[in-house]
């Protein structure tokens, strides 16, 4: 309803964002210590190479780092077909033929926000992927597990199938347990699909940030995996502020762009949760020369940039309709930021619009969905720099790097490949300055 009539979707050829990634440079396991990973620093060109242990030395005093505190849930659940439930552990091949894997993507609308689904008792519904769906002939799959010494029976029932996904109802016979406890007992940590191995005990710790609190992600916000307690202490010593937000990472983060041009790609939607206190902090500090706002991870970047555009939506709605926008209409569409770009609004005006909306709706937390897709040509509103890993070829994450660097991403990635940097989720990382530092 606030669209720019001149707006056209960017028709960027995804082939222009391809590069050769040798298998030998993909990190299939984490570094020995979190902060041992390499860190490449870029400010219009590569200006430094160090490790995360020394990242505080690369960031000006008074800066603010924004971390995504979403916690990876044990989203992969394995059920055995009832007819094969007595197969022994030794008959591995036959057992795999009888196994059905349910991958929880996100709760259905009736059980959102994510916190509601994780705290549900007795039953909950999730949108899921199902491996071995053709083998699922029964109405209900059953799994038995012991929780705190008590036998709990869990049922999985297919409710509906649409576009390759299933709505699955999970139910259990002891309502004192939450779905969070059920998942912890029966689920497995969902490693990225290119890591073709089962999650082990090390992954339970290392494929989770040290500050993860809010359950809901099915993939780790991997830029934060490198931050140990010692790194946080070094940031504190340099008077570098640390703030936290939440974006629940969806499985879509691993989905390659299959369309020939980016305008044909359907960006996945993800839940974000941001406290009023952080919005107030951004209102007072974002845009200041002496307080760069640095996103740790593309998820943090997309969250704070989405906040700006949501604030614009709120302000425009009130201006045009003289009432408060409905919470469902806060959802930020894939191209909406580009459509709204014709409207000039300061960070402070946008953040104040959000704060007013929260006050009107008597809540201290903004919960909404974003599909924001950052591509070359996007104008960053709040974020001054990005800490991130090295991303897959032809991915939406690589497009974010190209939006920051232009075609210079190719030289950066070529340098990383030539100098044996480790790539992807468990790999090394980089610090990209979006707005050049004042020398």
Number of folded domains that form the chain: 2
**82 and 66 co-located in one domain:** no
For residue 1, name the pLDDT band (cuts at 50, 70, 90). very low
Quick check: 4 pLDDT over 70? no
pLDDT for the residue 90: 41
Quick check: 111 pLDDT over 70? yes
Backbone region of residue 101 per phi and psi (left: phi > 0; alpha: psi in -120 to 50; beta: other values): beta
Instruction: Calculate the alpha carbon distances from 48 to 31, 107, 203 in Å.
Output: 20, 43, 30
pLDDT for the residue 98: 81
**83 and 61 co-located in one domain:** no
**136 and 284 co-located in one domain:** no
CB-CB contact of 152 with 142 (8 Å): no
CB-CB contact of 296 with 65 (8 Å): yes
pLDDT for the residue 256: 77
Range of the domain at 293: 14-72+211-433
How does pLDDT run across 366-419, given as a tens digit for each residue? 999 999 999 999 999 999 999 999 999 999 999 999 999 999 999 999 999 999
pLDDT for the residue 94: 42
Residue 244 lies in a domain: yes
For residue 163, name the pLDDT band (cuts at 50, 70, 90). confident
Quick check: 97 pLDDT over 80? no
Residue 148 lies in a domain: yes
Quick check: 96 pLDDT over 70? no
Q: Quick one: DSSP state of residue 427?
A: S
Residue 198 lies in a domain: no
CA pseudo-torsion sign 250, 251, 254, 256 = negative
For residue 83, name the pLDDT band (cuts at 50, 70, 90). low
Average pLDDT over residues 339-355: 95
Give the domain CATH number at 353.
3.40.1780.10
**39 and 82 co-located in one domain:** no
Residue 215 lies in a domain: yes
Q: What is the mean pLDDT of the chain?
A: 92
Bridge pairing between strands 76-80 and 187-188: antiparallel
Average pLDDT over residues 175-181: 94
- Percent of the chain predicted with pLDDT > 70: 94
pLDDT for the residue 86: 42
> What string of DSSP letters covers 164-195?
TEEEEEEEES-TTSBHHHHHHHHEE----TTS
- Percent of the chain predicted with pLDDT > 90: 83
CB proximity list for 425: less than 8 A, separation 6 or greater:
27, 192, 195, 207, 219, 220, 222, 225, 389
Quick check: 5 pLDDT over 60? no
Tell me the C-alpha distance between 331 and 327, whole Å: 8
**418 and 321 co-located in one domain:** yes
**Burial of 276 from C-beta contacts in 10 A (0-12 / 13-18 / 19+):** middle
Residue carrying the six token digits 């690589």:
398
Average pLDDT over residues 229-247: 97
Average pLDDT over residues 160-178: 92
pTM of the model: 0.93
Residue 201 lies in a domain: no
**237 and 373 co-located in one domain:** yes
**334 and 359 co-located in one domain:** yes
**182 and 45 co-located in one domain:** no
Bridge pairing between strands 123-131 and 165-172: antiparallel
CA pseudo-torsion sign 137, 140, 142, 147 = positive
**294 and 217 co-located in one domain:** yes
**262 and 216 co-located in one domain:** yes
For residue 84, name the pLDDT band (cuts at 50, 70, 90). very low
Residue 229 lies in a domain: yes
**116 and 147 co-located in one domain:** yes
CB-CB contact of 96 with 135 (8 Å): no
Quick check: 122 pLDDT over 50? yes
**159 and 228 co-located in one domain:** no
Residue 199 lies in a domain: no
Length of the chain: 439
pLDDT for the residue 7: 73
Task: Select from 78, 98, 102, 74 the least CA-distant residue to 161.
Answer: 102
Residue 4 lies in a domain: no
């Amino acid at each position: 309803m606030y669209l720019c009539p001149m707006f056209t979707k960017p028709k960027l050829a995804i082939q222009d964002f391809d590069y050769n990634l040798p298998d030998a440079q993909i990190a299939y396991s984490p570094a020995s210590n979190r902060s041992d990973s390499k860190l490449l620093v870029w400010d219009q060109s590569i200006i430094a190479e160090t490790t995360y242990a020394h990242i505080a030395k690369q960031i000006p005093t008074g800066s603010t780092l924004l971390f995504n505190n979403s916690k990876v849930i044990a989203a992969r659940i394995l059920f055995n077909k009832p007819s094969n439930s007595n197969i022994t552990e030794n008959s591995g091949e036959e057992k795999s033929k009888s196994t059905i894997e349910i991958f929880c993507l996100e709760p259905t609308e009736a059980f959102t926000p994510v916190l509601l689904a994780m705290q549900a008792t007795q039953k909950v519904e999730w949108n899921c992927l199902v491996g071995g769906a053709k083998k699922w002939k029964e109405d209900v799959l059953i799994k038995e597990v012991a929780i705190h010494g008590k036998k709990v029976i869990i049922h999985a029932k297919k409710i509906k199938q649409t576009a390759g996904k299933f709505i699955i109802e999970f139910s259990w016979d002891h309502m004192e347990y939450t779905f969070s406890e059920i998942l912890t007992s029966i689920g497995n940590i969902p490693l990225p699909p290119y890591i073709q191995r089962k999650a082990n005990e090390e992954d339970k710790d290392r494929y989770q940030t040290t500050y993860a609190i809010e359950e809901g992600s099915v993939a780790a916000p991997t830029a934060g995996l490198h931050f140990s307690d010692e790194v946080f202490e070094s940031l504190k010593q340099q008077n570098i502020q640390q703030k936290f937000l939440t974006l629940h990472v969806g499985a879509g983060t691993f989905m390659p762009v299959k369309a020939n041009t980016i305008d044909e790609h359907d960006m996945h939607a993800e839940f974000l949760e941001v406290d009023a206190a952080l919005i107030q902090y951004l209102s007072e500090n974002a845009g200041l020369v002496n307080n760069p706002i640095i996103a740790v991870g593309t998820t943090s970047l997309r969250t704070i940039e989405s906040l700006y555009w949501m604030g614009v939506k709120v302000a425009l709605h009130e201006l045009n309709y003289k009432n408060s926008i409905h919470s469902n209409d806060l959802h930020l569409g894939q191209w909406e930021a580009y459509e709204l770009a014709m409207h000039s609004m300061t960070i402070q005006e946008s953040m104040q619009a959000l704060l007013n909306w929260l006050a009107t709706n008597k809540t201290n937390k903004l919960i909404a969905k974003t599909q924001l897709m950052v591509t070359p040509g996007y104008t960053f509103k709040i974020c001054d720099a990005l800490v991130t890993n090295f991303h897959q070829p032809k991915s939406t994450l690589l497009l974010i790097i190209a939006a920051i660097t232009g075609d210079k991403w190719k030289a950066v990635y070529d340098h990383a490949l030539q100098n044996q940097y480790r790539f992807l989720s468990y790999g090394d990382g980089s610090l990209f300055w979006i707005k050049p530092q004042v020398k």
